[in-house]
Amino acid sequence: MKVPFDKLDKAFENRVRLQIMSVLAVNDRYDFNSLKDLLDVTDGNLASHLKGLEKEEYILTIKSFIGRKPNTNYEATEKGKKAFKAHLDVLEALIKNQKSI
Amino acid sequence: MEENKIQQDLSSIRNMMERSSKFISLSGLSGILAGVYALIGAGVAYYLTGRPTPAGLVEGILSIIQNIKYLIEIGFIVLVASIATGFILTYRKAKRKGQSIWGKASRALLFNMSIPILAGGALVIILLYQGGNLGLLLPTTLIFYGLALVNASNFTFTDVKYLGICEIILGLIGACIPGYGLILWAIGFGLLHIIYGSVMYLKYDRESTI
């Protein structure tokens, strides 16, 4: 069987993006600061990856205020969840493939 | 992309899913200590209220009613000591594991735990004021504590759920056989915590210190 490398989603090639999607797959919503603490990345780095995922329409940005402080939350879209699941399926197939060799 | 990268990707996915939604820094050792405090507390209470034997069932209940003030004080001291120990040990473990003690997961854990605890606490106060069936006091604390654990278990180790179910069962047994409330309370808060804490310590704490 041919290994379906090309089926891996390019959007998830980066580790940080993959981690963001993992978090949003099991949590309805996650806010920017909690994500930053969890992934242990800088503001700029996280923001650019979030923007990348938003461009793919894999996540939604929800801006609100707590008192006067801006609070930005993120949610996975249906498209994003589907893409993430497909990516996991390919990873699984790749591993099975390697084991059978 | 070779096998190594795939393995790393998968383990980081798993890690993120777990750490983002579960507070996995609860200390097993604090469970053992909480159990020890509860056993000491129950021992003191037992000494104060006298031996509730089947023959002395009525006397047993009467002595509990007479000594209710001591029982509440003992319960309160045990509670405060357990929470303080749990907080300190969990804080240390969270620091070691690099997990925030006041993150999204720990807040969800506390929120979900506090609803049944507050409801149970309110019910205990109502029972005390009505002065009705005081034999139900100790079983009530066990049942609501068990409900709190089951409710909170979604946000931490799944093992907590089984501890909660055991506490609920013990509470219900205690409600059926009044006069034995103290013994069941000692089993529930003392023995079960020691067993649970030991299991958690062997299962999770030890591997993380290696």
Domain span at residue B193? 29-209
Residue B14 forms part of a structural domain: no
Phi first, then psi: give them for residue A64, nearest 5 degrees.
-150, 180
Domains of chain B: total: 1
Q: What letters, b where the CB count within 10 A reaches 16 and e where it falls short, cover B175-199?
A: beebbbbbebbbbbbbbbbbebbeb
Query: Which range among A44-53, A63-72, B97-106, B119-128 shows the weakest confidence by mean pLDDT?
Result: B97-106
Interface membership of B13 toward A (CB under 8 Å): yes
Mean per-residue pLDDT over chain B, rounded: 86
- Helix (H) / strand (E) element for A30: namely strand A30-31
Nearest to B159 by CA among B203, B194, B99: B203
| Residue B12 is assigned to a structural domain of this protein | no
Q: What is the ipTM of this complex?
A: 0.81
The chain B residue lying nearest A89, using CA atoms, is: B10
Condensed to tens digits (0 to 9), the pLDDT of residues B160-197 reads 999 999 999 999 999 998 778 888 989 999 999 999 99
Find out whether A84 and A21 touch, Cβ atoms under 8 Å: yes
Q: Does B95 touch chain A (CB under 8 A)?
A: no
In a domain, B142, yes or no: yes
| Closest residue in chain B to residue A27, using alpha carbons only | B21
Q: Which distant-in-sequence residues (6+ apart) come within 8 Å of B61 by Cβ?
A: B52, B134, B135, B178, B179
Q: Do residues B139 and B175 lie in contact, with contact meaning Cβ atoms separated by under 8 Å?
A: yes
Task: Tell me the residue type at A101.
Answer: I
Tens-digit pLDDT string for chain A (101 aa): 555 667 788 888 888 999 999 999 999 999 999 899 889 899 999 999 999 999 999 999 999 988 888 889 999 999 999 999 999 998 888 888 877 76
CA separation for the pair B10, A19 (Å, rounded): 10
pLDDT of B87 reads 92
Structure tokens at B4: 């190594």
- Answer whether residue B154 is part of any domain: yes
Mean pLDDT computed over B107-123: 94
Of the candidates A15, A27, A40, the beta carbon closest to that of B20 is on: A27
Q: List, in sequence order, every beta strand (DSSP E) within A38-90.
A: 59-66, 69-76
Q: Are A101 and A12 in contact (CB under 8 A)?
A: no
Q: Does B11 touch chain A (CB under 8 A)?
A: no
Residue B106 resides in a domain: yes
> Is residue B99 situated within a structural domain?
yes
